[in-house]
Amino acid sequence: MGAFAQGEVQFRNFYSQSTPPVDARVYLYNLDVTPGDYAGLRAALIGGPTTGTPANVPGSWSGAGPLAALGSLALMYNPTITTLTWTGFRAAPNEGYVAVVNVPRTVLGVDWGGTARVQMVSWYGPFNTWVEAFSAWEAGTPGVGVGASNPLTLTLPSGPTDPNLAYLTGLQSFVVMIIPEPTTFALAGLGAAALLHFRRRN
């Protein structure tokens, strides 16, 4: 495998023509979900050799285990637009599905025909990279959300002309965990205080 070896994965969290089909909607956990909310949601693919460590956002998906917090898988780029690091989501009624069609992502360090570890990540907030968003979320920045899917092990196509494309087969739905705004904390505190006062009176 050469230093610049790289195969490709199709970035879709919904695709009915693959076998089995892919249907893994992304949800916003503790945000009032309206069509406009998804305008602030972004997604990317991270991936690399199977020795890479996936990211882990506790509670983001049902099978999350003791993985590294941020992980070591690298951001995957659109091979034709190398500066594109993330994508947005579709409008209503298809919120939760990425707004890309037949746009592959390059897996650095894994050659065509190789086996890669791939993961979908998503964040809520004005960040251009997953690392920036995760760092802000980990620091407790209000209104920032992050989520990470289950890690996938995929066999990449044998080359650019191979018709057997690698889709995100086995991808599961996951949620983006939002850190509440300070006003939300304040309201929660007031509610708890009122409940305590009510119980003392009774």
pLDDT of residue 192: 45
Give the tens place of pLDDT for each residue, 71-89: 899 999 887 776 667 899 9
Give the tens place of pLDDT for each residue, 121-176: 999 988 989 999 999 999 999 989 999 999 999 999 999 999 999 999 999 999 99
Structure tokens at 182: 């300070």
Q: What percent of the chain has pLDDT over 70?
A: 81
Confidence of residue 195 (pLDDT cuts 50, 70, 90): very low
The H helix count followed by the E strand count for the chain is 2, 11
pLDDT of residue 100: 82
Give the tens place of pLDDT for each residue, 176-194: 988 876 543 333 344 444 4
Of 66-70, 100-104, 159-163, the range with the highest mean pLDDT is 159-163
pLDDT of residue 176: 94
As a residue count, the chain comes to 202
pLDDT of residue 184: 39
Q: What are phi and psi of 169, to 5 degrees?
A: -65, 130
For residue 14, count other CB atoms closer than 10 A to its CB: 16
DSSP 8-state assignment for residue 61: S
pLDDT of residue 89: 93
Question: Given a cut of 70, is residue 199 above it in pLDDT?
Answer: no
Give CA separation, 9 vs 73, 92, 109, 144, in Å: 14, 26, 13, 28
Compute the mean pLDDT over every residue in the chain, rounded to the nearest whole number: 83
For residue 77, count other CB atoms closer than 10 A to its CB: 19
SS3 for 94-160 is: CCCCECCCCCEEEEECCCCCCEEEEEEEEEECCCCCHHHHHHHHHCCCCCCEEEECCCEEEECCCCC
23-27, 33-37, 122-126: least confident range: 33-37
Q: Average the pLDDT over 92-100 and give the result.
A: 89
